[in-house]
Amino acid sequence: MRQAALVLAVLAGPAAAQGFDAVGALFADRCVICHSGEDAPLGLRLDTREGVLAGSENGPVVLAGDPASPLLQRLRGEAEPQMPLDGPPFLDRDQITMVEAWVMAGMPAGAAAPSPAADRRRPAPGEQVLWPDVQPIFLKACIKCHSDNSKLGAPPEGLRLDSLENVLKGGHRLAVLPGNPEMSEIWRRVTGLATPRMPFDGPPWLPDEDIRLIRDWIEQGAPDADGTKAPIPTGARIRLRGVLTGAAEIDGAGFVIDSGTRVDDRPRIGDQAEMRGVVQADGSVRAERFRDR
Ligand code: HEC
Ligand code: HEC
């Protein structure tokens, strides 16, 4: 059936006639947010026909006339993870047939030469950082594991990083405390302060510039695309393990110790310490337990 459908598609030839134009438009819509720029996954850029033909660091992804081309297998879900990685929804049958027909026809060029997608905006230090500035980092480096399309089967620790809502919701534990990067597990993981360091399949780790962007975004209140800060997750629980860097501070993350805090083996500066606490309405963290480890 599939072979017959392919032959028909090639004979009908809409994709062959349009060359890369229709395929390029589809890729621009569904692939290029990740597959462009210097940090394109596996070096695979899909914003121009040249990029598609150049393939990835594993080699070619389209082979003229070969329905088993790696890119087609990814679209059909025969190779995992299925593409587009931020699906579902994945491509529908007609869209896949169109890409198949283009490959079967030998990847003809289009009438319009698409220009490469602009590399993503990286606000300079001191500038405002919005969700759309950090979203591509999570899409390119994290969601192959941290989404429902996870190659691990399920997102680890229940943490999905595929939307602002899910990043703020966190997994089994809080991932972001708006306004406070040191208390935020995401920042602690990408710097390696908390282990295992992320991305789990690194090195390479995130470039310093991306780590700085994540930090600035959290520090500025984890704003959405319009600049509206995220709400404080009052009542969320936090567990911090690391080096005591101040009387009530682990790895630079300060908290409040009061008469209600249970302190065991009070740690000294430089010791390994653990704090379990609760986020207060003003964004501070009140320690319930504090101890030496
Ligand atoms: C949300 C980000 C994202 C989107 C959108 C996306 N991809 Fe990917 N893609 C990735 C990542 C990350 C990998 C690497 C996965 C891995 O390491 O296993 C990948 C891998 C691939 C590969 C495998 C390359 C190889 O050498 O094995 C192909 C082919 C591919 N993508 C094609 C596509 C196509 C075609 C689309 C659009 C229809 C698309 N991708 C959309 C993130 C994305
Ligand atoms: C190859 C799969 C993979 C990738 C890619 C990946 N992670 Fe993870 N992540 C994991 C696994 C597995 C764990 C659980 C590890 C553990 O704590 O034992 C985890 C745990 C985490 C945690 C801790 C969650 C908690 O509640 O304890 C955070 C935060 C996190 N990842 C963020 C990220 C970020 C940010 C990225 C991208 C920069 C990323 N991860 C990329 C697999 C991955």
Q: What's the 221 CA to ligand 1 centre distance in angstroms? A: 31
Task: Name the one residue in this structure whose structure tokens are 């080699």.
Answer: 59
* Residue 8 confidence (pLDDT) above 60: no
Q: Please count the other Cβ atoms lying within 10 Å of the Cβ belonging to residue 221.
A: 17
Distance from the CA of 19 to the center of ligand 2, in angstroms?
Answer: 40
Tokens, residue 1:
């059936």
- Among 83, 103, 135, 137, name the best residue to mutate to test ligand 1's pocket (greatest count of ligand atoms within 8 A of Cβ): 83
What distance in angstroms lies between residue 26's CA and the mean position of ligand 1's atoms?
14
How many angstroms does the Cα of residue 105 sit away from the middle of ligand 2?
41
| More confident call, 181 vs 112 | 181
Cβ of 2: how many Cβ atoms within 10 Å?
10
Instruction: Over range 9-37, report the average pLDDT.
Output: 80
Among the residue ranges 2-6, 143-147, 193-197, 205-209, the one predicted with the least confidence is 2-6
Ligand nearest to the CA of 210: 2
The greatest distance separating any two alpha carbons of the chain, rounded to the nearest whole angstrom, comes to 79
User: Residue of the nearest CA to atom 11 in ligand 2?
Assistant: 156
| 8 Å CB contact between 213 and 140 | no
Start-to-end C-alpha separation, the chain? 63
Instruction: Map tokens 């992804």 to a residue.
Output: 61
Q: What residues are in contact with ligand 2 under a 6 Å CB criterion?
A: 141-142, 144-146, 156-157, 159, 161, 171-173, 175, 185-186, 189-190, 196, 198-201, 206
| pLDDT at 49 exceeding the cut of 90 | yes
Ligand nearest to the CA of 134: 2
Judge contact between 230 and 223, C-beta under 8 A. Answer: yes
Tens digits of residue pLDDT in 192-242: 999 999 999 999 999 999 999 999 999 999 999 999 999 999 999 999 999
Average of per-residue pLDDT across 62-88: 96
pLDDT category, 128, cuts 50, 70, 90?
Answer: very high
Q: What pLDDT does 219 receive?
A: 98
Closest listed ligand to the CA of 39: 1
pTM of the entire structure? 0.90
pLDDT reading at 2 higher than 90: no
- Give the closest residue to 144 by CA, choosing from 42, 213, 284, 56: 42
Q: How many residues does the chain have?
A: 293
| Mean residue pLDDT across the chain | 93
Q: Which long-range contacts (CB under 8 A, 24 or more apart) does 118-126 make?
A: 119/36, 119/37, 119/38, 120/37, 122/209, 122/213, 123/213, 123/216, 125/212, 125/216
**CA nearest neighbour of 48 among 101, 96, 98, 118:** 118
- Whether 136 and 34 have beta carbons less than 8 Å apart is answered as yes
